[in-house]
Amino acid sequence: MEAAFRGRLLALLEQTPPAGLAHWDGRALAEKLGASVHAVWRTLRREGIYLQRMRTWCVSTDPEFAPKAAEVVGLYLNPPLNALVLSVDEKPGIQAKERPSGYVETDSGTVVRALKSTYKRHGTLNLFAALEVATGHVYAQTTAHKKRENFRAFLEGAIADCPAGKDIHVILDNYSTHKKNDDWLAKYEGRVQFHFTPTSASWLNQVEIWFSLLTRKTLRGASFKTEDRLRAAIEAFIQQHNQKSKPFQWRKREVKGSQLRNTLINLRN
């Protein structure tokens, strides 16, 4: 009896939910099955199924994924001799939000961080960043815009102190600003080379790791009354990071055969 109910429940989850619902919930499942909500949730918990939790995925459809990925990872693991490897990207639209925060005690007695739901906006900043792969050092610059001329000016500042005899390899994603820069590259006569990650694979760009650290440690849940205060906080984080900078350990979690098969089945469905 229990096994039959489990089978019916799991089969129902594969079907389209009732009109007006984006996904199944416990009550809708119970009504469709003619069972109690408690029975539905008990079975879902036993199966490790959480209807409200979500994960996103991005699958690159780039036909040249393998050679592009190999080129980028090769620069991380075996960089050319006497060369500078930079991982470059921008973080646009960083908002200077002003809102109170503090700690509150919940009904259960636990203490959590609290943020006021409303806030004031005081403008936005764009942040360009270049991570030196070999050392972890970051050269960054805030700008009001993220146009191609801003990108070029930032890169010129990032490579200004690089010795003349050193080649420079720049890892980038496929954002439009990063393309159509042949005239700028021609000024450096082949000394500066761009390497683009595959489409929908910006996770291959190591500077994204640094951006996530900046978000978690400095931006998320913070309050800034002006753009200048936001800029000062970002610059302080950069300074502290560079004082203890070290290269990121480039590794990827091993994916076993069964995990890969399950992922492909889910994507196909």
Is 262 part of a structural domain of the chain?
A: no
Do residues 75 and 41 both lie within one domain? no
Do 90 and 222 have their domain in common? yes
Q: Does 38 share its domain with 162?
A: no
Residues 106 and 14 in one domain: no
pLDDT tens for 8-47 read 999 999 999 999 999 999 999 999 999 999 999 999 999 9
Q: Are residues 145 and 21 in the same domain?
A: no
Q: What span, in angstroms and rounded, lies between the C-alpha atoms of 126 and 95?
A: 9
User: How many domains are contained in the chain?
Assistant: 2
Which among 96-105, 117-126, 234-243 has the top mean pLDDT?
A: 234-243
More confident residue, 93 or 1: 93
Q: Are both 124 and 167 inside the same structural domain?
A: yes
Q: Which domain holds residue 216?
A: 65-243
Residue 162 in domain: yes
Residues 43 and 161 in one domain: no
pTM, to two decimals? 0.79
pLDDT at 268 exceeding the cut of 50:
no
* 38 and 128, same domain (yes or no): no
d(CA 132, CA 194): 14
Phi, psi dihedrals of residue 102, rounded to the nearest 5°: 180, -160
